[in-house]
Every structure is written in structure tokens, then in C-alpha cells.
Amino acid sequence: MTETIRKKLGTLPHKPGIYLMKDRFGTVIYVGKARDLRKRVSQYFHPSRRMGWDLKFNALVEAICDFDFHVVRSEPEAYLLEGRLIKEFHPRYNVSFRDDKRFLLLKVNLNDPIPNFTLTRLKKDDGARYFGPFSNSGALRNTLALVRRQFNLRGCRAFTPGGGDYKHCLYAHLKYCTAPCIGNVTREQYLEQVKAACDFIEGQCAEMKDQLETEMKKAAAAQDFEKAAALRDLLRDLKETTRKEQKFERVPYTLPLAVDPGRDLAELAAALGLPAPPRRIEGFDISNISGTFAVASLVSFKTGRPDRANYRRFKIKTVEGQDDFASMAEVVRRRYTRLLNESKVQSPKSGSEHGEAIPEELQKLVDVTSRKVRRQSWKPKAATPEALTGGISQPPTSNSQLRTPGPQLPDLILIDGGKGQLSAACEELKKLGLERIPVIGLAKEFEEIYRPGASQPLRLGLDHPAVKLLQRIRDECHRVANSYNAQLRLKRISESVLDEFPGIGEARKQALLKKFGSVRRLQLATVEQIREVAGFGGQTAAELKKFLEARSVITPNAA
């Protein structure tokens, strides 16, 4: 247990609430609720709990480096807030509430011809009144049944019950409903009943509670214990449903440091000396195994959150062997050359290289932009104290002001690596005329931030919000690149030697495997047996047989 956790445990109150466990990167890995925050959270770090055989619990505790908490007024409120936060953060160690199922709401639309209370899980902007959400669905249903009987409201599901010459209503005969559908009361009279029920659900039900409690005591005194128990349960459900709870959507609360993207972006802009928080950040990473299956990933973060629709994966095409610097240069060149081509805005050099004509009006815009870039290139001042503390000078003109309609350029580029990878990326951006875009590198060992032109890296500390944001982007780059590398390796392993035979397609390969069961049995087959497969003539069968014999030596006794 770290000193930070020890100090926070002492500040926990003996009140209900929720707690959020975080790992060393500040990512929320578990959300829980507690009737007593001090007792519940302290149990995680008790030595006796660590001696158990629950591997998941031990793994969770090993990963906890910090936690945050939020106090609420009751345990049901903690239950509701827990579900909401789990759906928002998707913690690794939570199982419940990770689906898209929501808590129940009570809905009534007073503009309907005959308003009716219904249960729903999705709140819409349709002019209806919504009550909830409610943590106990059983209590809500029991209370709704009580409300319908108390205020003589309809329970049929039809939007406009009755209608036409229909004159029969079962609820009206049972005296459950005043039946406006068959004209027993007017719509205005029925609407007053519904409004009274709304006030009741909102908590104006003191008289009803007193009445139920009196009836419960009378039944108990008469030794009618079944009736008394039923009234007791009904009173409990009524109290739980009509309890006024905190509306979390309207009340601000403090989230964990690492999951407040607005603050993280502001801290990052301050640390790098940017004129404004970067709205879009793109990160790059290279992944390979001894120079094989070299791939790269591009992840995009918009307003501090992953923008997965703009993720990209690359196969390294022009680099032989293991050369991360050249691979990074290739990926940056391919990414932003494509963006410039798609937006029809290229630097004069890149346009001449590809031999493409640029319209006269567009050429003027490019010339003006290029002159601004040359005068106002994004370079940190290495010789000033500001540069040594992380300041980065940047032209007051933002990227969005220099953009033309089309794919948007990022406000910041993050390179996974040190000076070498950063220099390679900056060189390619300079060739494309995009040196105005701020670029930084993040070295993993000490989380050092490298900047173009700065002799010393910037060290903000592992607890700095800007570093935590950059770590999340870098880790997402790792995840995408490594998963793509693993996908290619798995595909290569699963590929048959038949894929190397020229001219064979997926259909003919599957036909061969279906006929012989495996490549080894195919190697033992004769030319005549191969000719029996659809799509193989005599010459193709002979060539395939010769191809397989050249790639393996089969003993006569092989089965």
C-alpha cells in the first residue's frame, strides 16, 4: 500500500458512496459502491484479504495505485451512480452493468389522448414526464400498482383504449379505473387524476404512508399477520420508490484525475506552451518482431477521448529489416501525403513530385500558407528558460485557420520514441510543408517528452495530468499496433503451403483440403488423384505434385 493510498484511507467518511480504483496510468480499473466507504475501501488493503485464493481480487489489488471516491446520500443512490460510471468507463475488473441495459424509468405523457404510466429504460426528448431512474424495479412495479388503484388510473396498454362503438371496460367494472375511454369521466377530469398521481410519485405521499402504517398496525393488533406483512412490504416499497434522490446528470462531481479529459488537455497545452488545448491528437507506433511483420498504428484522440473511427493500421512497405526510424518516416509520409491529396492541398514540392497540376486559386493559397509557415515554424526555444521548462512557441494562427475543407490535420502529433523517431517524423513533415503542426516524442523509460530543437527532454513527473494523457494515447498506439502484428502472424501461421503455389485461389485450395483432409495427405497423393479434384487438369495437377515434392521429403512409410 502506497503512502498516497494510506493518507486517502484516513480521509474516507463513514458514509455511503462509490469508489473508483485506478492503476499507475490513472485508468479506472474498478468501480464499486459502499454503504460505509471507510470500512469497504479499507478491506481491500487488509492483510487477511490478501491471503485468499481469489486470483481476480489479488490481481486487482496489485494493480491499484490510487483511488477516488464520491459521497452520496443513500445506498440506492450509490447503486445508481455505480451503474452509470461503469457504463461510462468500462473498468477492466467490473462484470455487472457493462451491458447497455439501463435502470427503469417511469414515463407519462400528459399530451396523450388518455395518459398512461409506462415503464421504460430510455429517456427521450418527446415532451413526456419521466421519474427515476429507480434502483429497485420490483419496488417500482408494486408502487405503480398502488398508484393505479389509489388514483383509479387505467392499466391497459393500448394508446387509445375503447374507441368506436366499444362500450366495455373490465377495469371500469372492477372499479380500478374511471374509464374515460367509454365516457365515464371527461379527459380533463382524468387528467387531474394523473397529475395527482405525479405529485404522489414525486414524494407528496405523507398521507398515504400514514394511512398504510395505521392499517398495518390495526392488522397486527387483530393478529392478521399476513395482511400486516403485505402492508409492511407495500409501505417499504412506497418509501423506496418515492425517496427523493440526487439527480447526477445535473449535479457536478469530481471524477478521477486521469478521466477528466478537459483538464488533461489544458495541462498539456500549458506544459507545451500551446496557444490552446489540442482538440485532435494523433499518435504513431511501430511494431515488429526482429524486422518481420513490421506494422504501424495511428490512433486519434478527439477532445481527450479515443476517436476510433479515425484509427489506421499500416504495413511497412519500403523498409527492409528492423529500422524503426525509417519505418516511422514512411508511416508519417504516407499518412499526411494522403490527407493532403484528399483535401487537394499539397505543398509545391509534393505537387511537383507527383506531377499534378494545382489550380491557380489553390496555388495562391498554398504559397501564402507556405510563407506563413516559413516565418512561423513550430520550434521550441532551446536557449531560453521557457524552453527548458517545457515552453513551446507556436504561431498564433491555429491549424484550423490554415485548413481548407477536407480531412482535418491534427493539432498535435505524438511519436512513440525518442529523438531518432521524432527527427524522422519532423523531416517528413517538413518535406510536406506541415512543420507548423506541433510534434513531440514520448520515451517510455522515464516518460520523457522530446521536442524538436530542444536539447533536453521535458520531465513533468508520472503524476502530471499531461503525462497521463500522453500515456493513454501511447498505450492505445501499442495496443492497436501489437494486435495488428499478432493478427498478421496468426494469419501467416495458419496459411497453408498451398498459398505459395502460383495461380491457386481460395476455392481450389479449399477443394483440395476437403478432398485430402490435410497438406501431408495431399503430398502423398498421385497426379491422377489430384486430377479428380474440380478445377485441376492434367498439367496443373502435375505441376502441383512437382511443387509439393520440392518442398518436403516424404518417406515411403509416411502415413
Q: Could you tell me if 418 and 542 lie in one domain?
A: no
Instruction: Reduce the DSSP state of residue 26 to 3 states and report it.
Output: coil
Length of the chain measured in residues: 559
Element (H, E) at 29: strand 28-34
Distance of CA 101 to the CA centre of its chain: 16
Q: Which residues contact 381 (CB under 8 A, 6 or more apart)?
A: 387, 391, 393, 453
The torsion angles phi and psi of 28, rounded to 5 degrees, stand at -70, 120
Report d(CA 206, CA 230) in Å as an integer. Answer: 19
DSSP string, 248-307: TTTS--PPPGGG-HHHHHHHHHHHHT-SS--SEEEEEEEEEETTEEEEEEEEEEETTEE-
Please confirm whether the linkage preceding 133 is cis (ω < 30° from 0). yes
Say which DSSP state 14 is in: S
**Nearest CA-CA partner of 433 in 335, 344, 299, 336:** 336
Most distant pair of Cα atoms in the chain: their distance: 101
Beta strand 412-416 with 439-443 is: parallel
Q: Could you tell me if 15 and 122 lie in one domain?
A: no
Report d(CA 234, CA 241) in Å as an integer. Answer: 10
Q: Could you tell me if 513 and 410 lie in one domain?
A: no
Q: Could you tell me if 287 and 346 lie in one domain?
A: yes
Residue 389: predicted pLDDT: 35
Q: Could you tell me if 324 and 420 lie in one domain?
A: yes
The answer to whether the beta carbons of residues 143 and 212 sit under 8 Å apart is no
Residue 282: predicted pLDDT: 95
CATH number at residue 545: 1.10.150.20
Q: Could you tell me if 111 and 30 lie in one domain?
A: no
**Nearest CA-CA partner of 282 in 350, 332, 329, 346:** 332
Q: Could you tell me if 179 and 311 lie in one domain?
A: no
Looking at the DSSP assignment, which residues form a beta bridge with residue 20? Answer: 31, 68
Q: Could you tell me if 386 and 504 lie in one domain?
A: no
Report d(CA 80, CA 311) in Å as an integer. Answer: 33
Residue 298: predicted pLDDT: 94
The answer to whether the beta carbons of residues 178 and 193 sit under 8 Å apart is yes
Last residue in a domain, options 38, 56, 89 = 89
DSSP string, 131-180: EEEES-HHHHHHHHHHHHHHTT------SS-S-TT----HHHHTTS---G
C-alpha cell at 100: 447497455
C-alpha cell at 197: 398521481
Report d(CA 440, CA 438) in Å as an integer. Answer: 7
How many domains is the chain built from? 4
Which ranges in 463-555 belong to alpha helices (H)? 465-494, 506-516, 519-524, 527-531, 538-550
Q: Could you tell me if 119 and 200 lie in one domain?
A: yes
Residue with cell 429497485: 136
Q: Could you tell me if 194 and 318 lie in one domain?
A: no
The answer to whether the beta carbons of residues 415 and 348 sit under 8 Å apart is no
DSSP string, 350-404: HHHHHT----HHHHHHHHHHHHHHHHT-----TTSHHHHTT-----SS-HHHH--
Q: Could you tell me if 387 and 520 lie in one domain?
A: no
Domain encompassing residue 536: 497-550
**Nearest CA-CA partner of 269 in 440, 421, 432:** 440
Is 141 a member of any domain?
Answer: yes
**Nearest CA-CA partner of 310 in 100, 474, 480:** 480
CATH number at residue 353: 3.30.420.340
Say which DSSP state 99 is in: S
CATH number at residue 52: 3.40.1440.10
Q: Report the alpha-carbon angle 464-469-470, nearest 5.
A: 100
Over its length of 559 residues, how does the chain's per-residue pLDDT go in tens digits? 677 788 888 889 998 888 998 887 778 888 888 889 999 998 888 877 666 667 788 888 888 888 888 888 777 778 778 877 887 777 888 877 655 567 788 888 888 778 888 888 777 777 788 877 776 777 778 778 777 777 777 777 666 666 544 456 777 777 677 777 777 778 887 888 788 778 777 766 666 667 777 778 888 888 888 878 877 776 776 666 666 554 444 333 333 444 578 888 999 999 999 999 999 999 999 988 766 788 999 999 998 888 888 999 999 988 887 888 999 999 999 999 998 888 764 444 444 333 344 444 434 443 443 444 344 444 444 433 333 333 443 433 444 444 444 458 899 999 998 889 999 999 999 999 998 999 999 987 778 999 998 888 999 887 788 988 898 899 889 889 888 888 887 666 555 667 767 777 778 887 887 888 777 788 888 988 888 888 888 888 888 888 877 765 443 333 3
Is 504 a member of any domain?
Answer: yes
Q: Which residues contact 34 (CB under 8 A, 6 or more apart)?
A: 16, 17, 18, 19, 40, 41, 78
C-alpha cell at 491: 494469419
C-alpha cell at 521: 495427405
**Nearest CA-CA partner of 242 in 279, 201, 289, 206:** 201
Last residue in a domain, options 89, 116, 151 = 89
Quote the pTM value: 0.43
What is the rounded end-to-end Cα distance, in angstroms, of the chain? 61
Last residue in a domain, options 211, 241, 271 = 241
Q: Could you tell me if 340 and 430 lie in one domain?
A: yes
**Nearest CA-CA partner of 407 in 490, 472, 341, 457:** 341
